[in-house]
Amino acid sequence: MRRRAHLTTSVLIAVCALLSSGVSRARAGETPGENPAPPKFRLPAEVVGPTRYRVDLTLVPDQNTFTAAIDIDLQFAKPSPVLWLNAEKLEIKDATLTVAGEKVTAKIITEPHDYVGFAFDRSVGPGPATLHAAFQGEISRKDQQGIFQMKDGDQWYIYSQFEAIYARRAFPCFDEPNYKVPWQLTLHIKKDQAGFSNTPILSVTNADEGMKTVEFAETKPLPSYLVAVAVGDMEVVDAGTAGKKHTHIRIVVPRGHSAEAKYAAETTPAILNLLENYFGIPYAYDKLDEVAVPLFGGAMENAGLVTYGSAIIIQKPDQDTPERQRGWVSVASHELAHQWVGDLVTTAWWDDIWLNEGFASWMANKNVNAYHPEWKMNVSELNGYQGAMENDALVSARQVRQPVQSNNDIINAFDGITYNKGSALLNMFESYMGPEKFQQGIHRYLLKYEWKNATSAEFLAALAGDDRTIAAAFSSFLEQPGVPLVTAQLECHDGAAQLDLTEQRFFPLGSSGAAPQLWKVPVCVRYAAGTGSARECTLLEQKSAELHLTQTTGCPGWVEANDGANGYYRLLYQGDLLDDLLKNDAQELSVAEKVALIGDLAALTKNGKIALGKALALAPAFAQSPARQVVTKTMDITTGLQDNLVSDDLLPQYRKYLLALYGGRARELGWKAQPGESEDARFLRRALLGVVGNEAEDPEAIAEAKRLALAWLDDHKAVDPDMVGVVLSIAARHGDRDLFDRMRAAAKKETDENFRGNLLFCLGLFQDPEIIETALPIALSGEFDVRESLGILFAPSERRQTRDFAYDFVKQNWDLLVAKLPTDTGAYAPYVAAGYCDAGHRADAESFFTGRSTKSTGGPRILAQVLEGIDLCIAYKNAQEASVNEFLKSYKPAASAGSQ
């Protein structure tokens, strides 16, 4: 599963309707005495499990419910008077169990929430039996979980999303990843529509009343969360074949969108071939369909039927952008990597979900680098790793391998720690072990566990064979939260040089964390030696260690203590090491190493090791780099200070600083792509103009953005498609009622999902109080699909001037919000307070959301992290405000700044 990074989109990904498992347990105790006790959390695997499913679904778009039946072949390991399955929002009509040709009636137990029990009139088992159940379920119009429907144009289409715990909304089942068995699906659909599932169609037969029956081949062993369906008036684009087994690939789109699938159809075979070559195992399934799902906020690796948000997989050729295409190749690489890591070999339980998600993220990065090295995906990925480090600095951070003991834990497991830290760890140990040895280990792992489940311990044993050191070091990062802070100090004596290394957990100022922690950290360094450089690695296992730099005589001129930026640690240079590196424009460093260094500088202002004023003074040296990734990384240090750190009287100075850093190059690049310019220039233009207009508030940029926004509203050709978001956001932040009305009307007519998303988000960016008060209710009014208009609620919380409106609106409309928004979106509501930086709002948010957002699945940890973020902001402001303002007071742009 791949989620979009943007907060407002992550909010769109609703989580399930369960109350916390604590509540489930409480209710279980209230179940009438004659019913056998339901499971506490997991189903009793020691009693009974499935061996095969047959599912029969009648799916008609634009209906609110579906009817269905399921037959589950079971194997009882011991006698039991009851069979417990997972089920949610299902109405079971009747059920019978067949044992040795004899029918046993089952009484249906509908409590507690999350489960259905089938109580028999006698004990059943040990041995085989088959359960038959007929039932009805919901085709949701507000959620994107279970079986749901989305509208494209005036047509409804049905799709499914079962990961992590939503297959139970489609059929009663053993909804845990360890139950991995074959499934056979049959769909009853309208004659003029198409139906898709994980496998090829075996037969189609016409039925009565304009319906037909579509029977699919039995699947290979799959957990419930990987089963999928899609139904509607879809078009199919042939994408040829790929892989050793010449697998047939198709792109499935809503009617009228075939031309937009061109890039996906052209690139999928290459993506699949590269993955197959790396894994050394052929693609395992009989076909591959990739499905465009309107408004879907992510992508899902269902075996043989991968779903993607339409905005990811399709685009009109004349509106397409390098960003969309790169995003597509990256997401497709992630989902298709899952066909091996996740589908062929499945995590045994959700506590090891990093084996699916960290792995697929790491493999996607590797795959994109192999396919398009010039895109420098490894540098983009590094930003993801550093994002994980930021989250990992919280005391409320999850471990990569966190015990999963409730539905809250399952939902929380799909976070940046699982995806990005998991990926970063694979990257670090690949670099430490060497890529070839690492690849062989992965091949061994996949071969050993194909069609089965695996755990972290099994992965590590297969990866490193007899080398226990690797497994122990890797585990030290999987089994404890936090990011190490490594300090490096150079010592030179008698012609010999050594690096003194220490490790401790990185805690920001204001953190309540203090407990000592140790990791076994692979540290690889590069340093000046002779006329070139040398590399040396060590495993830092104790609080401190020495690394002898054996290939230099005398003191090396420079040392990079995180070679290739492959280490998952923050780095603090002692003595002159940093200054030595920065000499000569840090020319010894790669682009990735420069990005890591800037990210570390930003982080070190957070724990007080570097004054923010000093970091602001260092940023200009990097801001004129030829590598756009380096330029944009400086924004980690320089932007976003206006809301909490810069005093009002110094705002003009701060804006002058930003303009000096980015204004000249922004002006050079202009607002429109030039013929023949590089894709890097297009990315840089957008980033620079975004800062110049939105943060430096340059009057010229604002005026131009307003002019372009109006022109674009008349004619979309007036603005490059990748500039639309920036143009509209700058214009909206400084816009009047007339512009607001025009944007709102345009959003209603807009047929492009990306543009409509831009427009809706921008409705929340206007600063005039009257406009904000008109905008916020639109999120809940039904004027737009709520799955799309949710962003309006969060947009005003980005800025100090408008934050209160969004926060107060959420508080005042809580009950309506919970009723209207997708199930469990309330878990994410505390993000509306995430920008605050004072004790009063912190206390208010805690008292308001406790008992409210925490009732949604995944809610408690999200609230804890938002509150901890506010605490850290308060401490950061106290520590760094003076240094920032002192820097700005005396700041004068260098004569040449901004012109290079």
* Active-site amino acid positions: 335
Helix, strand or coil for residue 307?
A: strand
Helix, strand or coil for residue 826?
A: helix
For the sheet with 229-232, list strands across it.
146-152, 155-161, 229-232, 194-197
Closest CB to Zn ion among residues 357, 788: 357
Residues making up the chain, counted from first to last: 900
Q: What is the DSSP letter of 719?
A: S
CB 271 → Zn ion: shortest distance, Å?
15
* CB atoms near residue 542 (< 10 Å): 11
Closest CB to Zn ion among residues 355, 837: 355
CB 231 → Zn ion: shortest distance, Å?
24
Sign of CA dihedral 317, 322, 323, 324: positive
Residue type, 154: D
Closest CB to Zn ion among residues 307, 315: 307
CB 337 → Zn ion: shortest distance, Å?
8
CB 343 → Zn ion: shortest distance, Å?
11
Helix, strand or coil for residue 451?
A: coil
CB 274 → Zn ion: shortest distance, Å?
17
Phi, then psi, of 60 in degrees rounded to 5:
-125, 115
Residue type, 794: F
Q: Where are the alpha helices (DSSP H) in 204-284?
A: 262-279
Closest CB to Zn ion among residues 302, 562: 302
Alpha-carbon span 463 to 441, nearest angstrom:
4
Alpha-carbon span 861 to 203, nearest angstrom:
48
CB 334 → Zn ion: shortest distance, Å?
5
User: 141 burial class (0-12, 13-18, 19+ CB within 10 angstroms)?
Assistant: middle
Closest CB to Zn ion among residues 2, 398: 2
Alpha-carbon span 123 to 139, nearest angstrom:
35
Helix, strand or coil for residue 822?
A: coil
Q: Which two tokens stand for residue 426?
A: 């694979």
Helix (H) / strand (E) containing 412: helix 407-412
CB 2 → Zn ion: shortest distance, Å?
5
Q: What is the DSSP letter of 732?
A: H
Sign of CA dihedral 170, 174, 175, 180: negative
- Indicate the Cα dihedral angle 705, 709, 712, 713, nearest 10°: 180
CB 359 → Zn ion: shortest distance, Å?
9
Residues forming the site for Zn ion (CB under 5 A): 1-2, 357, 360
CB 365 → Zn ion: shortest distance, Å?
13
Which positions ≥6 away from 660 have C-beta within 8 Å? 620, 893, 894, 897, 898
Residue number of the CB atom closest to Zn ion: 1
Alpha-carbon span 460 to 477, nearest angstrom:
12
Distance of CA 378 to the CA centre of its chain: 17
User: 892 burial class (0-12, 13-18, 19+ CB within 10 angstroms)?
Assistant: exposed
Alpha-carbon span 162 to 168, nearest angstrom:
8
Q: Where are the alpha helices (DSSP H) in 280-349?
A: 310-313, 322-338
Closest CB to Zn ion among residues 418, 885: 418
Which positions ≥6 away from 269 have C-beta within 8 Å? 239, 240, 241, 242, 249
Closest CB to Zn ion among residues 2, 842: 2
Alpha-carbon span 893 to 455, nearest angstrom:
56
Residue 725: C-alpha distances to residues 191, 746, 749 (Å): 41, 14, 17
DSSP 765-777: T---HHHHHHHTT
Closest CB to Zn ion among residues 353, 394: 353
Q: Which two tokens stand for residue 656?
A: 């002058």
Alpha-carbon span 326 to 628, nearest angstrom:
16
Helix (H) / strand (E) containing 875: helix 859-889
Alpha-carbon span 300 to 335, nearest angstrom:
7
Q: Which two tokens stand for residue 585?
A: 């424009």
Closest CB to Zn ion among residues 357, 415: 357
Q: Where are the alpha helices (DSSP H) in 543-678?
A: 577-586, 591-606, 612-623, 628-633, 635-638, 651-669
Closest CB to Zn ion among residues 133, 360: 360
Alpha-carbon span 409 to 305, nearest angstrom:
27
